[in-house]
Structure 1
């Protein structure tokens, strides 16, 4: 897949790939930091550490070509909830 607004792979990064993957050619670096991290329930594969920090080490959602659509969909849902006056996620 070519680098585009939906997909970017930076093989020159010293951390590439930053998560274990069987398909480094499909590893998307676009969301190096996941925009869904601050959602209480992001839909990803994470654990909450004793310190309260969300550990997303095993989550690959933002690093797949399909992750772009998933993340934008979740953000649109959350923005719609905010506009509708839903309580904030803490």
Structure 2
């Protein structure tokens, strides 16, 4: 019999991935490398600027330094990131209408 699909993404295998053989693993300092999620290697929320919800600093010319941020790299990051997709879609829509 097939296993029922969980309703919580954090309980599904698709929401967590580690690439422990990556030369940069983990790419951010963390006390729990076993919980470090590589699924969003490059944060899709970067484009949201100060609305991303992460721990970042602007270093000049609007460039964000996200080296202190673990938002996309936690075990529960999948749900947080995917809930922000409508904001990303709106940003893309605004760009496309210019």
Is the pair's TM-score, using the shorter chain for normalization, greater than 0.5?
yes
Structure-1 separation of matches of 2:82 and 2:34: 22
Q: Give the CA deviation at 1:50.
A: 2.0
What is residue 55 of structure 2 aligned with on the other side? 45
- TM-score between the two structures when normalised by the length of structure 1: 0.81
What is residue 56 of structure 1 aligned with on the other side? 66
Structure-1 separation of matches of 2:47 and 2:69: 14
Q: Give RMSD over aligned pairs.
A: 2.4
| Unaligned residue ranges in structure 2 (runs of 5+) | 1-9
CA contact (8 A) 1:3 1:9 kept: no
- TM-score between the two structures when normalised by the length of structure 2: 0.74
Task: Tell me how many residue pairs correspond in the alignment.
Answer: 83
What is residue 22 of structure 2 aligned with on the other side? 13
- Comparing both structures, which one devotes a greater share of its residues to helix? 2
Q: Give the CA deviation at 1:2.
A: 9.2
Q: 1:67 aligns with which of 54, 77, 81?
A: 77
- Max radius of gyration: which structure? 2
| Unaligned residue ranges in structure 1 (runs of 5+) | none
Any idea what the Cα deviations from partners look like across 1:14-39, whole Å, max 9, x if unmatched? 10000000000000000000000000
Distance 1:74 1:24, change over 3 A: same
Distance 1:20 1:34, change over 3 A: same
Q: Give the CA deviation at 1:52.
A: 2.3
